[in-house]
A and B are shown apart, each in its own frame.
Chain A
Amino acid sequence: MRLTRQWRNLKDWAWFGFGHEEREPGEGELALFCAVCPQAGINLPDDWLDDPDRYG
């Protein structure tokens, strides 16, 4: 089980291009961009933070 997690992690690093980089991945750098999730500046109104129903 531990080794499968290690292997999966190695694959992730390779797929996201960290095999040849000196630095370690930062926050969100091992995740795929999701076009469906709300993304500020792309598919959210500019004033979304002021929307009283933003959690609705």
Chain B
Amino acid sequence: MQSQNAYLREWLGKRSAHLHHILSLEAPPGDGLCTNCSLNPAIWRCLECFGRPTHCTECCRTQHSKLPLHRIQCWTGKFFTPAWMRQVGVVINLGHGLDPCPVGGAHAPQYDQDNDTEDLDDPWEDKPLKAGRTDENGNVMFVIVDKSGIHHIPVRWCQCPGCPEKDIQLLSVDLFPASYDRIQTAFTFHVLDDFLLDNLECKTSAYHYCSKLARVTSPVFPHTVPVSLMKPFSNHVIDRKDRIGIRN
């Protein structure tokens, strides 16, 4: 078996080529057309779909209607800048397997192609994006805390007669509501479980885990991410530990 040093020496000869190739991945691939429809220019790149495919707005929205918490980037003409699914027009539809509720049909998202990159400047400053406000289709804007960062995304409730309570609708898609009266914040089961694992194996405190989430959300400006998460986060973790039978 090779020693670690031997592996490193072997790598040194390849370092420049690797770096060059990694940097070349920062440009839009190939002809710059959507990898799905090959018709429109690809301006969105999904960082979480395997192979980081680039899509046009329409394809990005349809491909992610059931993957609304993927992190994306937008091509500005010179580089890819961080962006969010809400800018593509993705809405979380509750109650029908993530398809739009037929009762709320009047509020179906009408996405305006011209507004593609409108709110790219500062996603935290834009008024309609604050939690509790509604988007242009009347859907309530949610803060959803996931392992992939803190998302602001519209949620469309199921409004069928006899539909479950809002908190139950959220639980059905693995979202844990942070309150019950006017729900505007939810945590994914994924992030709560990930914290328990980090807490168990890495001894991460809730405070430090929240710092990490802020850093994941905005690597350069983590302080611009709302930090009032700490309290609901700790309470959630206690709830979840109770629920899955962990006591410390």
A contact residues vs B (CB 8 Å cutoff):
2, 6, 9-10, 13-14, 18-20
Contact = CB atoms under 8 A, between A and B. Distances in A.
Contacts of A2: 4, 7-8
Contact of A14 (B4, B8, B11, B22): B22
Secondary structure at chain B's binding surface: helix, strand, loop or mixed?
helix
Contact of B18 (A10, A18, A20): A10
B202 interface: no
Given A2-B7, A19-B23, A20-B23, 4 more contacts: A6-B8, A10-B15, A14-B23, A18-B19
Interface residues of B, number: 10
- Report which residue of B4, B20, B22 has the largest number of chain A beta carbons within 10 angstroms of its beta carbon: B22
Contacts of B20: 19-20
Interface string B7-28: 1100100010011101100000
A10 B22 contact: yes
Contacts of A6: 8, 11, 15
Across chains A and B, which 8 residue pairs bring their CB atoms closest together, nearest first? A19-B23, A19-B19, A2-B4, A10-B19, A13-B19, A6-B11, A2-B7, A14-B23
Contacts of A9: 15
A6 B20 CA distance: 15
19 contacts: A2-B4, A2-B8, A6-B15, A10-B15, A10-B18, A10-B19, A10-B22, A13-B15, A13-B19, A14-B19, A14-B22, A14-B23, A18-B19, A19-B19, A19-B20, A19-B22, A19-B23, A20-B20, A20-B23
Nearest to A6: B11
A9 B16 CA distance: 11
A14 B20 CA distance: 9
A23 to B, nearest CB: 10
A53 B195 CA distance: 52
Contacts of A19: 19-20, 22-23
B15 to A, nearest CB: 7
